[in-house]
Each structure stands twice: as structure tokens, then as C-alpha cells.
Structure 1
């Protein structure tokens, strides 16, 4: 059997080790400006949309989402506090002055401060903005503007998650086993009657 291993950003090895190379924040090529960074405590992915900077924060050791935290961002002379969206599990910065600055073409140095009840950490990253950003319509959470969302959550990330595909394969495997057992019992019952 041939096995294929692909190390995506934030990927974990067989012993839980991270397969990323550096912790100084690196850029990822994508349609929307995006960056990610990590420290020994947290890993963070930020994506810039026209209406917000959406940020996902995970525990570095377990890769579990960090939900009970406050997240602050400093860019140039601006400081902003994130709003947490429980339904999507992300943090969002939607202040107009911050978005105007980040949507300007060029490299923007970001300093995130993550604070949980047990720890606090600073994460630095660089966001390279081309000036063109996509409309953000994945979340089912309300924004401070009046546009509608389709309520899909982070469905885009779900399709890229190997864990989601593994879970789907396991569910389908169990379903096949159940159907085979039911068929086997039905054919045994028919052969006993004959």
C-alpha cells in the first residue's frame, strides 16, 4: 500500500509535532490576504475580507480551538479588540479604520495578543495585502452592517480538513458494515424458513 503524506500549514506529525518550519509568521498565497503564525502556546490564522479580519486561534500543543480568550490586535498606531463569534468559532476585527489600513496595498506588521484565563502570548505576523479583498459571506453571524450572510460557517475550511474527510470515511465504513450485517441476517432468516 502506498501512503502519501502532505504537510499543510499547521499540520501535525505522528507524535503531534508541528510540521511548520518557523514561528515568525509566514504568508500563504490565496485569493484573500491571509497570514498565519504561532508560538509555543498558540497558532493563529488570519484572513482579510472586505467586512472584517477573521482570525482562528488554536492551542499549539493540541490543535484544539481556543474559544475562551480575548484577542487584541495592534497595527501601526491602531489597537483593536476582537469580537468572538460563537457560531463560527472565530474572532473578528471589523473597525473601519483598521480595515481601511489593512486593505491598502503593501505589507502590514500585525501584533496579536491572545489572553486566556491561564496564559497570555504575543504573536507577530505579516499580512501582504494587494488592495483587493473578497466579500465575506461564509459566517452565519451578524455584523454591524446590514448585509445578509448565507450561514455556512467555515465550510470552506471543512472541505480542506483531513479530519473531516477521515470522519466521513469512517461513517461510510460503519454504514457499509451495518448494511452488510442486516443483509446477512435477512438472508439467514430466509434460508432457515426454506
Structure 2
């Protein structure tokens, strides 16, 4: 029983460490960052992510375009039948949708020149679908160096299936998932110990 107690105690300690670790998620897998502000992601190309209760958006700046992925926040399903607009400073642009890649792209020269200047750029996205419309704000930190966007793959598989948001990775980062796993393992250990104890008592009685 002492071993079981130690095992459960260590599992709980690991759970506490997971809660305190950077990049942790809330009890429902939500981002702990406040919605609407967006946060930067370390990457070779300037990149930012933001979300509201309706949508999640990831934008990545290339030399020839700003590529944007939009997902339904609750289901993590890609949003394809939408209109996407972007406002940066006094510039407003409409995205082109790439059906083969499932992403939206802004390729206007004036917009790209502005975004590729070193510094932080405030982005205001407006997503409009047949059933709803929402505004998402994000900050893109540009260093002035961007990658070539050679071809469109299917970026939803590369960037989002976080986790299938995506949410599988969030599950692994959730402290509640690890706590549940620890409790299940603890129960299994108790069951095995009881079965062994009963088997041992049965053998002793026969002897």
C-alpha cells in the first residue's frame, strides 16, 4: 500500500508541474491567453495566432503573401465558405481563397511591403460566413526577413492538427487529462493488489 500511495503522490506532483508549465491550457482545452489579443509563435517566418469564441485564426507571412488559416473554434473544422478581410493601419484588403490548400491569402504589394517592415503590426481580421461574422485582432512581429512560399500543401495538416487544435495536442497538455490517467492507473494497481491478496489467501487456506 505504501508503494501505491507514493505512486499516487508522484502522479499528483507531476500534474501540478503540468499546470504550472508554460503553454498550459484551461480545463476545457482553451488557450490561457485572453481571446482577441493574439500571440506570436516562434517560427522561421513571422506568424501570429488569435481566436474568439467562434473562430481560431493563424496567419503566416511569406515574401509573396500573408497566408491565413481559419478554423471553427469549437469543432476545429476548417472554415472554407467565408469572406476574410484584413485591416492594417489605413490599408484594407480582401483575401483570396485557395481551394487546394484550404487557406486564405493576402497578396497585395502595398500590404506586404507594410507587413515586411521590421516591427509590430496590429492586424484586424473580419471573418464573415453565411451564418455569422466576427472580428479577430492579432499582432504580427516582423523581423524584415520572410520565407518564399514555394507551393501550397494543405496547411491545416501542418499547423492545426494539433493537436486532430489541434485538440489532440491540447489534450496531452491538459493537466486534467494527466490527473485522470494517474487516477485510472492507481485504481488498476489497487485492483491488481486485491486480486493478488485474494489469490494468496486462497492458497494459504488450501495449505
Same fold per superposition (TM over 0.5): yes
Is this contact kept in 1: 2:45–2:146, CA < 8 A?
Answer: yes
Shift of 1:29: 1.3
Q: Secondary structure at the residue paired with 2:68?
A: strand
1:54 and 2:47 aligned? no
Consecutive unaligned residues in structure 2, runs of 5 or more = 1-13
Count of paired positions: 194
Compared CA separation, residues 114 and 130, structure 1 to 2 (3 A): same
Alpha-carbon displacement from aligned partner over 1:1-25 (angstroms, at most 9, x marks no partner): 9999899999987856456554411
Alpha-carbon displacement from aligned partner over 1:23-81 (angstroms, at most 9, x marks no partner): 41111111100001011110100000001000000011111100000000000111000
Is this contact kept in 2: 1:28–1:34, CA < 8 A?
Answer: yes
Structure 2 CA distance for aligned equivalents of residues 60 and 183 of structure 1: 48
Range that drifts further, 128-137 or 6-15: 6-15
Range that drifts further, 163-172 or 5-14: 163-172
Q: Secondary structure at the residue paired with 2:86?
A: strand
1:91 and 2:104 aligned? yes
Alpha-carbon displacement from aligned partner over 1:80-137 (angstroms, at most 9, x marks no partner): 0000001100000001110000000000000000000000001000000000001112
Residue matched to 1:158: 171
Residue matched to 1:178: 191
Runs of 4+ residues deviating >4 angstroms:
1-22, 140-194
Structure 2 CA distance for aligned equivalents of residues 36 and 68 of structure 1: 20
Greater helix content? 2
Compared CA separation, residues 149 and 168, structure 1 to 2 (3 A): closer
Compared CA separation, residues 97 and 150, structure 1 to 2 (3 A): farther
Range that drifts further, 169-178 or 152-161: 169-178
Compared CA separation, residues 188 and 107, structure 1 to 2 (3 A): same
Is this contact kept in 2: 1:67–1:89, CA < 8 A?
Answer: yes
Is this contact kept in 1: 2:70–2:79, CA < 8 A?
Answer: yes
Compared CA separation, residues 166 and 77, structure 1 to 2 (3 A): farther
Per the normalisation by structure 1, the TM-score is 0.65
Is this contact kept in 2: 1:46–1:55, CA < 8 A?
Answer: yes
Looking at both structures, which has the greater relative contact order when contacts are Cα pairs under 8 Å and sequence separation is at least 6? 2
Is this contact kept in 1: 2:124–2:135, CA < 8 A?
Answer: yes
Is this contact kept in 1: 2:83–2:128, CA < 8 A?
Answer: yes
Range that drifts further, 73-82 or 151-160: 151-160
Compared CA separation, residues 5 and 191, structure 1 to 2 (3 A): same
